[in-house]
Amino acid sequence: MITGKKLLQSVAAATMALAVSALAVAQTAYPAKPVRWVVGYPAGGGTDFLARTVGAQVSQQLGQPVLVDNRPGAGAIIASENVARSAGDGYTVFSADNGVLVYNPALYKKLPYDAEKDFALVGMMGRSPLIITAAPNAGIADAKALLAALKASPGKYSIATPGTGSPHHLAYELFQREAGVSMLHVPYKGGAPALQDLMGGQVALMMLDLPSGVSAVKAGKVVPLLAMSAERVPQLPNIPTARELGFANVEAYTWQGLVTPAATPKEVQARLGTELQKAMADAGVRQKLYDAGWEARPADATEMTRYTDAERKKWHALIKARDIKLD
């Protein structure tokens, strides 16, 4: 005979078993639908290429489509807000660069997202050193000639960037300070028009990221002079670094990591992190990124957190010292 107590115990046990079973099914079923990969820049650019290249490999691994959702505008602030307000269900990921995670919080008094609270860091993907590049008609053939020209004529030479507050602009500010030189900053609305004017000789210099200008560099339409990196750029081994010329503190990149909305379950974050690292280790992916001007630099969430924190400390100090504001 089943007593009331035993019946309650049986029901409780059955309920617990069903809950455990449901949890197990939910975990093993992820992902059960396509994953949206948000990019804060237009289709066809360097960030978009990286997302599509890595996303295609992640899609194969997950067995679900990874759909790139381009939401350009306002230095990726529009995309950042969209992701910050998205459901933390594992079906939204975001290519977050150093502008989103590091610079914007120091450049703007108010943002529609919190870089430290609204996102969960999944892992690093790639980076590109920033390179001072000259127009073919500028008469500057190499890094030594660049430094000589800048020292001889302070404020004479103009340098283009994709915009005020961009990684390129801040790299220029850092180089100016450390090298003791002065240039005229010409901020454009994006890298493409800046590169066009550089190739046409309307501006003498540009702070260039290689993914945006790899075709122009290969075609000899611009002259790469000096890399803002610790080591020489693999795709441009003959170009010296600022460190080689005595500027040990000049190191600047445009870099990309993957994040999710903060509420994304830890186990899903871990799964995405594992799949991301696997995709970044794929030889085909790495070769495509290399050919497009990227340097594959995979790192897990812990290392990405450490690196991002260090970047915030470094660049927030520079932004404050140079009194750079965007609102």
Q: Which residues of the chain have pLDDT under 70?
A: 1-28
139: tokens are 């008469």
Query: Which are the contacts of 87, defined by CB distance < 8 A and separation ≥ 6?
Result: 261, 263
Q: Which residue's entry shows tokens 């046409």?
A: 200
Q: CA-to-CA distance for 223 and 217, rounded, in angstroms?
A: 7
Q: Using one digit for the tens of pLDDT, what is the confidence trace for 71-109?
A: 999 989 999 999 999 999 999 999 999 999 999 999 999
Helical (H) or strand (E) element with 225: strand 223-227
Q: What are the structural domains of the chain?
A: 34-127+255-321 (3.40.190.150), 129-227 (3.40.190.10)
Q: What is the pLDDT of residue 57?
A: 98
Peptide bond into 154 cis (omega under 30): no
Asked whether 106 and 325 are in contact (CB, 8 A), the reply is: no
Q: What is the pLDDT of residue 7?
A: 44
Q: What is the pTM of this model?
A: 0.88
Q: What is the pLDDT of residue 327?
A: 85
